[in-house]
Amino acid sequence: MKLTDEQIAQFDRDGYLFFPGLFTRDEVRVLTGAVPALFAQRRPENVREKTGDVVRTNFAAHMYSEPFAKLARHPRMVEPVTQLFGEDVYMHQFKINGKAAFDGDVWQWHQDYGTWKNDDLMPEARAMNVAIFLDEVNEFNGPLMFIPGSHKLGVLEADHDTSTTSYPLWVINHETIRKLVDRGGIVAPKGVPGSMILFHGCLVHASTSNLSPWDRTSVYLSLCAVSNHIRRFKRPGYIAHRDFTPIRCLGDDCLRAPYDVELPWKDGTPRDELQGSAYGSI
């Protein structure tokens, strides 16, 4: 999938693009059918909410689940990013965020590149997220909120929050957020399952808790330019991947047709992917 000149200009201005209903219901059904079994596993890749046994984030499903291994190579998710970066990309991170009905907790205001820079020593903001809705996203179930244009300001000062939620983030203080919102406002893309968002690594974003009776599950591919690979392996390999092999896309029909994909972690997470280390490979 290729972006138009108008879409490229819009991304440069706002820091995100929204594609309502880009994936069909049949394609989404292939993915949603695999989620319960993933969340039920007692694997280290499942991070649970601090208040209970509900999965907050599942990491690296593309390494042991066939439907998500295909999604990780889907041209609708990968090609727009290679087009914007002008080079091949690798999978820096792959996650399924649960945001379960009644239990899905808040994600504080942050920039993803802030974490990638501070924790992983990623040299530049030449990485971004591509997200696909597996459930309908509405105003009640904790939609992603963006501050348009905030990516233009580069990396903002942030504090490492390890206590507010079950997953640590480098978060931005309230006064800075007030100034950013006065400048750019807040938007929250909402839509049917199969909708897709592409957003810049420096775009400031957050989401509220989900007090509604509707789940809000989404998949996030964090794609990084190969030349911009991380330099430190501080975090476990299932969170920040250490394989910088360029992604080779499958056919556009890959969620509906048989394709051979490797599942190297199907029988368990390799021991050397469970721990971080002080050094990477330059």
In angstroms, how far is CA 210 from the centroid of its own chain? 18
Decide: residue 168, CB within 10 A, 0-12 exposed, 13-18 middle, 19+ buried.
middle
Q: Please check whether residue 144 is in contact with residue 188, taking contact to mean a CB–CB distance below 8 angstroms.
A: yes
Task: Spell out the residues 6+ positions from residue 278 whose beta carbon is closer than 8 angstroms to its own.
Answer: 232, 234
221-242 residue pLDDT tens: 999 999 999 999 999 999 999 9
Nearest by Cα to 72 from 26, 134, 130: 130
Q: Is residue 280 part of a domain?
A: no
Name the strand (E) or helix (H) holding 147: none
Residue 266 tokens, joined = 């199907």
Task: Spell out the residues 6+ positions from residue 132 whose beta carbon is closer than 8 angstroms to its own.
Answer: 22, 23, 28, 31, 71, 77, 194, 195, 196, 218, 219
CATH of the domain at 147: 2.60.120.620
pLDDT of residue 275: 83
Task: Spell out the residues 6+ positions from residue 178 whose beta carbon is closer than 8 angstroms to its own.
Answer: none
152-184 residue pLDDT tens: 998 888 777 665 655 667 788 999 999 999 999
Q: Is residue 265 part of a domain?
A: no
Q: How far apart are CA 57 and CA 226, in angstroms?
A: 25
Q: Is residue 5 part of a domain?
A: no
Q: Is residue 267 part of a domain?
A: no
Q: Is residue 277 part of a domain?
A: no
Nearest by Cα to 207 from 222, 184, 186: 186
Number of domains in the chain: 1
When the pLDDT of each residue in the chain is averaged and rounded to a whole number, the result is 92
Q: Is residue 32 part of a domain?
A: yes
pLDDT in tens, the chain (282 residues): 999 999 999 999 999 999 999 999 999 999 999 999 999 998 999 888 776 678 889 999 999 999 999 999 999 999 999 999 999 999 999 999 888 788 767 778 999 999 999 999 999 999 999 999 999 999 999 899 999 999 999 888 877 766 565 566 778 899 999 999 999 999 999 999 999 999 999 999 998 888 999 989 999 999 999 999 999 999 999 999 999 999 999 999 999 999 999 999 999 999 999 987 655 544
Sheet strand arrangement including 107-110: 144-146, 205-207, 107-110, 169-171, 159-161
Q: Please check whether residue 104 is in contact with residue 48, taking contact to mean a CB–CB distance below 8 angstroms.
A: no
Q: In b/e form, how buried is each residue of 191-213, taking b as 16+ CB within 10 angstroms?
A: bebbbbbbbbbbbbbbbbebebe
User: How many Cβ atoms sit within 10 Å of the Cβ of residue 178?
Assistant: 10
Nearest by Cα to 88 from 251, 252, 247: 247
Domain that holds residue 164: 12-257
Q: Is residue 16 part of a domain?
A: yes
Name the strand (E) or helix (H) holding 48: strand 46-48
Q: Please check whether residue 216 is in contact with residue 139, taking contact to mean a CB–CB distance below 8 angstroms.
A: no
Q: Is residue 69 part of a domain?
A: yes
pLDDT of residue 210: 84
